[in-house]
Amino acid sequence: MTNEAGKLGKSNQEQAVAAWVNYLNQLRLDNLLSALDLQDKNLTEALSSVDEAIRKIDLEVVTTNRGGVKGMHGFIAEVAEVGIGNARRQIHGDNPHYQWINNNSPVDLMRSGVAIQQRFVAAGGRFGLGAIADHLQKYPDFVENGGKYQIPRDHFEVIQKLHAMPREEASKLLTIGGDGLSLKDWTKVHAFFGEGSVGIESLEPSHLKYSEVQKGAYSATLQSEADSLHSTDQSLRDDAYQQSKPTLRQGAKATLAAAAIEGGTALARAVIAKRRAGKQLKDFTRDDWTDIAGDGGLGTAQGGVRGLSIYWLTNFSATPAAVASSIVTAAFGVAEQANKLRGGEIEEVTFIENSELVCLETAVSALSSFVGQAIIPVPVLGAVIGNTVGVVMYKAVSSSLSEREALLIERYLGEQRVLDEQLGSEYQELIEQLDASMSDYLGVLERAFSPDLEVALLGSIELALELGVAPDEVLDSDEKVLAYFLD
């Protein structure tokens, strides 16, 4: 009875490790599904921001001719900046932070409490700096209060380049018109910032270039942004999938945990066995502790193999965790019996019988754990309870069989083996007959489709008869051919 309890405890510990590895795998899968569901929402909201920007530009700017020929692109830029700026945050799951201030006030946009004035101006050749100076003259405290001037992205890049360029370099490069710029452009930029009213840190680039917000271009611009959002969305989904894949680190974690659990269990069982034999801890000898350490080391090694094997099987071969654990347990059990056979401790018949029994018991354990986990969906607990109930029931049933019933089962197994041999022989005969028939049929087909016309005609007649066409319907003579085509 004590031995059976020990086996049950070991079986529970093995299935507990399997259930824990399965739980780790399920967590990764749940996180992936959650991330994909969230990304569905993010994409929908991001695309909605772009669609809303298109709708507002169409109805509130273009249809009403707001700003006229010279100023319409400025209002288009404001609405587009809000739509694109919010969408690029929403695709990552962040809250939108742009708001369009549609009231002709000193502020065009608000972004997380920061006031923004857009200056999409190309006239005057100052990249919008003249327009900034005009605005600052009307509202001198705009920058002091934390406001930002936002200009087209391409204008900002030019200003930033010229602002950082020393005079000597500008004199050398820009006198020959490098990048379409001149020394005069450099002078205008440095003169503006030299006044000291605005620093370059008070300027920022828009998401958009000047050309992208013109009346004839904004639709393509926003459609391109929608396509970009789809690409970003796919990239984020790919990242989520990569993060959900099994990793070497998690496999090592499962291996070490399984080794620790099984090694600790084996150590405890070895100590308990010594105690049940009547020895007190203080009476343990060096040999006793050596035996205990050996059992613990073996358990640790087996646990490491079990953890790694279960992790690999469950992640790379679609094997349920309970089954994976049972495969490992069966492999250990058969290996143990094989070692006894090599050592002459058991005969070949006993080896086969014991191996069958090991595999049967591990199969019962796997099925019981699987059912238990399904009925009690609590990680590890369901598998352990299911394994306990299943193994106990199996032991009870197997031990309750009488000698007569065992003999009946044995006789039935013998009859099944004889039947298997008979069916195997008949199956082989049928295969041989089928091979012969196929060979004949392929020969007929080869003749029927021969490039030699005479051989093909005779082969066609043979094929028709082989396929069951009535002899009087086969065109095997000149008279039948003429009658078929002329009558």
What gap in Å lies between CA 256 and CA 28, rounded to an integer?
Answer: 19
Q: How many residues does the chain have?
A: 487
Burial class (CB in 10 A: 0-12, 13-18, 19+), 91: buried
Structure tokens at 392: 């106990």
The span from the first CA to the last CA of the chain, in angstroms, equals 95
Q: Which residues contact 284 (CB under 8 A, 6 or more apart)?
A: 274, 292
pLDDT of residue 383: 39
Predicted TM-score of the model (pTM)? 0.58
pLDDT of residue 483: 73
* Paired strand residues for 111: 98, 114
Q: Which residues contact 175 (CB under 8 A, 6 or more apart)?
A: 182, 183
pLDDT of residue 381: 38
What gap in Å lies between CA 39 and CA 57, rounded to an integer?
Answer: 27
What gap in Å lies between CA 86 and CA 78, rounded to an integer?
Answer: 12
Mean pLDDT by 10 residues, the chain (487 residues): 47 56 70 88 95 95 91 93 95 94 89 93 81 91 93 93 88 67 87 86 94 94 95 90 72 62 59 66 66 60 60 58 56 61 71 60 49 43 38 39 50 66 77 75 71 73 73 73 70
Task: Give the Cβ contact number of residue 476 at 10 Å.
Answer: 17
Query: Collapsing DSSP states into helix, strand and coil, what is residue 383?
Result: helix
Q: Is the distance from CB of 17 to CB of 303 less than 8 angstroms? A: yes
What gap in Å lies between CA 383 and CA 15, rounded to an integer?
Answer: 6
What gap in Å lies between CA 24 and CA 16, rounded to an integer?
Answer: 12
Handedness of CA 126, 131, 136, 138 (dihedral sign): positive
Q: Which residues contact 400 (CB under 8 A, 6 or more apart)?
A: none
Burial class (CB in 10 A: 0-12, 13-18, 19+), 284: middle
Task: Give the Cβ contact number of residue 447 at 10 Å.
Answer: 18
Helix runs in 57-178, H state only = 68-90, 129-138, 153-164, 167-173
Q: Is the distance from CB of 214 to CB of 73 less than 8 angstroms? A: yes
Tokens 């009870």 locate to 396
pLDDT of residue 339: 66
